[in-house]
Chain A
Amino acid sequence: MASYYPEPTNIWESIEYSSLGTSIAESLWAFPTLETIHVIALVTVLGTIFVMDLRMLGVASVGRAISQISTDTLKWTWIGFIVAAITGTLLFTSKASTYMVNPYFLVKMGLIVAAGLNMLYFHFVTWKNVDQWDLTDTPTAAKVAAVLSLSFWIVVVFCGRAIGFTLGIYY
């Protein structure tokens, strides 16, 4: 066990100085490799979400039933999200306390939660009577959910990039 790390004073330092956190931080290739997988996963999440959101807005794929567009995309959105979440967690462990004082990181996490709640509400409430608007104009609730989803995810990407540019500023 590496002794040159200081005694952790809080949970975030405990994560950062764990053998997992320090291994990722010390490795020449681990962080960039995880970041690369994170990028490929997140563009899969975003790309498939764009397809669904644009259908919900009635902007694209209007000739195809919204339930089919959901089937086309949702599986890939989830695969991408799980991979992005795992790689994101590993990236986090290597600099946990630095991320926890970074406002862009905190806003990013909050927005991902908000995007998740928005999706849950859409799928469990708005989606209930989808058979009534599967091939016709989508209801206002679906359009609102799409605008919220697009907004949340675009700002998530901005925050993700901003974190990389502000790491030395807050800590």
Chain B
Amino acid sequence: MFDFLFAVTEWLRTTALLDFAFWITETPLSLFMVENFWMVPAAQVIHILAIAAAFGATLMLTLRTLGVSGAGSTIEETSARYVPWIWWGLLVIVISGLLMLTAEPLRNMINAVFWFKMIFLVVTILITLGFQKRIRAAAAGVGATWVAGGGTKTAAIAILVLWSLIMVCGRWIAYVPV
């Protein structure tokens, strides 16, 4: 596992990403982020708070689908409440993440874990889009008694696992040697 990640990182070092990452370090925004001690921690705080908002909303929607939370509420109501928080939260996650990326482009872009995190993020977004559409369609007109099928429940669990994997990668970016 670690050998594999190391090999991927070594390969990333041979690509154009290296020059691109070095170029980013010279940009005014990157210099601003690096030269002000509190900018990186501040971006991380915003990143974590936005993850809490989006993941909390994801949790409420998936747990309702799994039938272990939100009893007596319809999918329409639950979606109306939580879906906007998932996407607005993700927007803030991406913006604060881009700031962190700009501050430390080499540590992130020449890092296998960062790219696996990005792959997990894209997969999570795609599954979430499909999931949100499917539960709305399946529960339409059924009301609060709607119970999700096995496939939909599997998708709900997959979304939570993927979010966790994204967070695992997020933390381990800082610990793998680059």
Knowing A40-B164, A60-B81, A72-B69 touch, does A47 contact B172 (C-beta < 8 A)?
no
Residues 129-171 (chain A) with a chain B CB within 8 angstroms: 154, 157-158, 161-162, 164-165
CA distance A68 to B144 in the complex (A): 14
- At the interface, is chain A mostly helix, strand, loop or mixed? helix
Are B53 and A48 touching (Cβ within 8 A)?
no
Pairs A–B under 8 Å by Cβ, sample size 12? A32-B172, A36-B172, A44-B55, A47-B51, A47-B54, A48-B59, A50-B56, A64-B77, A73-B69, A157-B45, A161-B44, A165-B40
Which residues from A are CB-within-8-Å of B49?
46, 154, 157
- At the interface, is chain B mostly helix, strand, loop or mixed? helix
Smallest Cβ distance from B174 to chain A, in angstroms? 8
Query: Which residues on B are within 8 Å of A, measured CB to CB?
Result: 37, 40-41, 44-45, 48-49, 51-57, 59-60, 63, 69-73, 77, 81, 85, 164, 167-168, 170-172, 174-175
Query: A89 at the A/B interface (Cβ < 8 Å)?
Result: no
Contact flags (1/0) for A57-85 with B, using CB distance below 8 Å?
00011011000100111011000000000
Query: Which residues on A are within 8 Å of B, measured CB to CB?
Result: 32, 35-36, 39-40, 42-48, 50-51, 60-61, 63-64, 68, 71-73, 75-76, 154, 157-158, 161-162, 164-165
Report how many A-B pairs have Cβ atoms within 8 Å: 88
- From B175, which residue of chain A is reached at the shortest CB distance? A32
Which residues from A are CB-within-8-Å of B81?
60-61, 64
Smallest Cβ distance from B152 to chain A, in angstroms? 19
Which residues from A are CB-within-8-Å of B167?
36, 39-40, 43
Checking B52, B63, B168, B172 against A46 with a beta-carbon cut-off of 8 angstroms, the contacting residue is B52
Which residues from B are CB-within-8-Å of A75?
69
